[in-house]
Structure 1
Amino acid sequence: MKVEEVISKIEHLPKLHEKNDLSYIKKVLAYLGNPQDKVKTIHVTGTNGKGSTSYYIANLLKKAGKRTGLFVSPYISKFNERIQINLDLISDKDLIKAYQVVTRVINKIKETDDTFSLVTFEFETVMAFWLFAEKHCDYAVIEVGIGGQHDKTNVITPEVSVITSIGLDHEDIIGPTIEDIAKEKSGIIKKGRPVVFGEIAAKPLNILINQAKQMRVRYFEYEKDYQIIIDKKIKFTNSQYQLSFNLRSPVEAIDMGIAVEVITILGLQLKPQAVEQAINETVIPGRYQIISRHPEIILDGAHNIQAISNLVGFVREQPHHKLYYLMGMMKDKDLDQVFTQFRFDEEIVLTRIDYPRAAEFEDFPEFIRNRSQFIENYQAAFDRVKEQLGENDILIVTGSFYLVGAILNYWEKKDES
């Protein structure tokens, strides 16, 4: 089999089951000998920041000499990004092998239940768990897809659980209220296993703390158990470390802090210099990824009100002449709220990628359609905006990881040519 064929087959699997439970994935994992139980795991959820936090934790574990798996979603430019070992993308050969192993199990189950199948995300999750066990990982960092309690990754008993943030996103699936979202994400808290909380507002935080108390676990809070001060550097303090990191956005700073708190809880005796080096060296695809200087071009997959607000607030503080945004979003996002975050002196160009959920021009709120240019072809849109940039201008490509991934691939292909 060719890897392109494998990826196509996975991505064309069903998206939903009749029952929203974990019985399907648990059945396949049981046939495989429950590989998810053969590797120590860290489980990471949150409305925003879970991907960045997962990368930071994985790099710290690697720096500590631990063979480390990483499962993240979505991928930015290549499917293999979803499953990594020591931050190296899984090879095409191993991806094909994992696909064949999981497919054989499904075919076995179909002998007695011809209606059985896995949805795309379940299939990917099973492949990741099987590969992490097969490759003898010491740890695996597992990023939740959506939510927590009902997410297909929630078949593990992690060494540490992480909840980075609570905000409005995917309200139709795990909402509609912030309290509903907090309750769903609290579902990754397991009995006897510690949990780390990021910067979370009082009301949802109380829900998380109550769940932690009910499960009789230790919980660690931002500003109480670990502190971050942002000046010319990011200064971190907890029970073990006093550290200084290179300046990134305030949101990234909290993600860094969560990661260090996790490795502290795990008892990994990393020297301060090693922790600082691991954090500073971590590259997170599609999260404030700078691909050009003078003019500066930034790719960031912010796709909800909380993430967009944090992004634009940080970018405005950077030295610049004019800010340009190239934006494409999914039509099921809170578009009205997102676009209230922009100023009239900031230029917005709207675009879309060829994806069923991608917003068409008429899906954007009227007030933003009236002040923005719409160029349907994202490559043409990117080129058009790039041509307008002065040396001290900043272009931010944002609104969707799908758009960010498409632009990154386009940029890299142009760079190669």
Structure 2
Amino acid sequence: MNFINAKDVISYLYSLPKLHPKGDLSYVKRALAALGNPQNKVKTIHVTGTNGKGSTSYYISNLLRKAGQKTGLFVSPYVFKFNERIQLNGKNISDSDLVKVANQVEKAVTKIKRDDPDFSLVTFEYETVMAFTFFAEQKCDYAVIEVGIGGEHDKTNVITPEVSVITTVGLDHEKIIGPTIQDIAHEKSGIIKSHRPVVGGNIPKTVLPIIEKKAAQEHAPLYLLGRNFIVSDDKRVVYKDKDKILSFISHPKVESYDIAVAVQVFSLLHLPLSNALIEQAVNQTKIPGRYQLLKKNPMIILDGAHNIQAVKNLLEFVHKQKKIRDGQVRVLITMMKDKDLEQVFSLFDKADRLLLTTISYPRAAKKADFPVAVQKKYPYEANWEKAFDELKDASEDNDILLVTGSFYLVSEILNMGEANASSGY
């Protein structure tokens, strides 16, 4: 097979299976070996966490770029277009490079299949191999690699990074890496490598010993938020460690944790960059679909929060804004039907006005997939565009309109061409 254009590549990737019968790394390692192990030709930062790993990856990437490093970034999901998944110096991979690297991977897979007809890559493995191949070809100084799910068994866990990062540990993907938060912590600790530093963010005390034990076993120096570095978020985000104090523009509380983790990671790399330029790099970072402000009056916020921890943090921020603005909170929400729907909907205030919707995506919840109590409590509009317009029209200048529950829904809203997105609160 030879890919002609980017559309061919993306269609093919989505046609591949999502999981192998066995969840090890043998398939992805075999494909990478056939391509000369490109993952070993670039310095990497490996980022996992139940929430915040995407934001943290963007912050680290921008800090590296500001320090003059040629920087790759591999993240998921995408918001505007697939090419966001693989970035070079803050720019999406071009369609021509996407086609080129996909053809290289396909050639390697075809060669393996001659000896082993049953060999195949699942979607995320194929994407991972493409990313490593591209970063090596571009001779990146660093590549920031966000895991897909988990850590130890994630298809990206084929690297020995300069720094490993665990942003948070909470409940999500319990059927794959759970079912308990302890199981999830064990899985995420699997990215910790021998004698390589690891940075931990807002990790619950209940599972911190699991992370500490793994770090000790691997002789990996552990740097923890609240222990080795701290952050406060009153009118500005203030970061402190033993060497410096930095001040950043105001961000939601949960974003301040991600900023602090990213700055600590960057500090461990010992790259020359003044405090002023560190602050500038963070302040200039734009993260699509995360606490994204579309409009100020009414305040329209887009965030792809899709698990208990993320929704709880988001609502804490939104309700804080409500007190300041003294307005009504309206929420447009859909979620994937395999998420913890009952627990998530229990987090909303009685006064919040929710409108359920859906999108054209196989895993997206339809009306019948929402818990019965949720169906009875909140109205449902299958047409998300109509639902968004309805809530927007009903909102006064001091109200808040929140779109959440899925990055896919956020992507639909942004791609609809709503007002230019900005940041800052």
Same fold (TM over 0.5): yes
- Structure 1 residue identity aligned to 2:173: H
Deviation, structure 1 residue 210: 0.3
1:93-130 deviation per Cα after TM superposition (whole angstroms, max 9, x unaligned): 00000110000111111111111110000000000000
1:308 maps to what in 2?
Answer: 311
Deviation, structure 1 residue 413: 9.6
2:355 maps to what in 1?
Answer: 349
Q: Does 1:409 align with 2:415?
A: yes
- Assess if the C-alpha contact under 8 Å between 1:240 and 1:264 holds in 2: no
Q: Does 1:177 align with 2:158?
A: no
2:329 maps to what in 1?
Answer: 323
The structure 2 residue matched to 1:273, chosen from 257, 276, 279, is 276
1:98 maps to what in 2?
Answer: 101
Q: TM-score, normalised by structure 2?
A: 0.96
Deviation, structure 1 residue 368: 2.2
The structure 1 residue matched to 2:37, chosen from 16, 34, 37, is 34
Q: TM-score, normalised by structure 1?
A: 0.98
Deviation, structure 1 residue 291: 1.4
- Assess if the C-alpha contact under 8 Å between 1:237 and 1:243 holds in 2: yes
Give unpaired runs (5+ residues) of structure 2.
none
Deviation, structure 1 residue 231: 1.1
Q: Secondary structure at the residue paired with 2:207?
A: helix
Deviation, structure 1 residue 412: 4.6
Aligned positions of 1:116-131 closer than 5 A: 116-131=119-134
1:211 maps to what in 2?
Answer: 214
2:252 maps to what in 1?
Answer: 249
Runs of 4+ in 1 over 4 A off after TM superposition: 412-415
Give unpaired runs (5+ residues) of structure 1.
none
1:198-248 deviation per Cα after TM superposition (whole angstroms, max 9, x unaligned): 011112111000000011110001111000112111111012220111111
2:115 maps to what in 1?
Answer: 112
RMSD over aligned Cα, in angstroms? 1.2
Deviation, structure 1 residue 408: 1.0
1:165-190 deviation per Cα after TM superposition (whole angstroms, max 9, x unaligned): 00000000000001000000000000
CA distance in 1, matches of 2:41, 2:113: 26
2:380 maps to what in 1?
Answer: 374
Q: Secondary structure at the residue paired with 2:391?
A: helix
Q: Does 1:232 align with 2:235?
A: yes
Aligned positions of 1:53-64 closer than 5 A: 53-64=56-67
CA distance in 2, matches of 1:306, 1:61: 29
1:363 maps to what in 2?
Answer: 369
2:392 maps to what in 1?
Answer: 386
CA distance in 2, matches of 1:203, 1:341: 22
CA distance in 1, matches of 2:270, 2:242: 12
Deviation, structure 1 residue 414: 11
- Structure 2 residue identity aligned to 1:364: F
1:160 maps to what in 2?
Answer: 163
Larger mean CA deviation between 140-149 and 228-237 belongs to 228-237
Change (3 A) 1:230 1:82: same
Larger mean CA deviation between 402-411 and 360-369 belongs to 360-369
CA distance in 1, matches of 2:242, 2:420: 48
1:117-159 deviation per Cα after TM superposition (whole angstroms, max 9, x unaligned): 1000000000000000111100000000000000000000000
CA distance in 1, matches of 2:208, 2:367: 37
Q: Secondary structure at the residue paired with 1:341?
A: coil
CA distance in 2, matches of 1:328, 1:407: 12
Deviation, structure 1 residue 63: 0.4
Larger mean CA deviation between 253-262 and 386-395 belongs to 386-395
- Assess if the C-alpha contact under 8 Å between 2:228 and 2:241 holds in 1: yes
Query: How many residue pairs get matched?
Result: 415
CA distance in 2, matches of 1:7, 1:14: 13
1:31-78 deviation per Cα after TM superposition (whole angstroms, max 9, x unaligned): 111000000000000000000000000000000000000000111120
- Assess if the C-alpha contact under 8 Å between 2:233 and 2:251 holds in 1: no
CA distance in 2, matches of 1:371, 1:179: 34
Deviation, structure 1 residue 256: 0.1
Deviation, structure 1 residue 269: 2.3
1:139 maps to what in 2?
Answer: 142
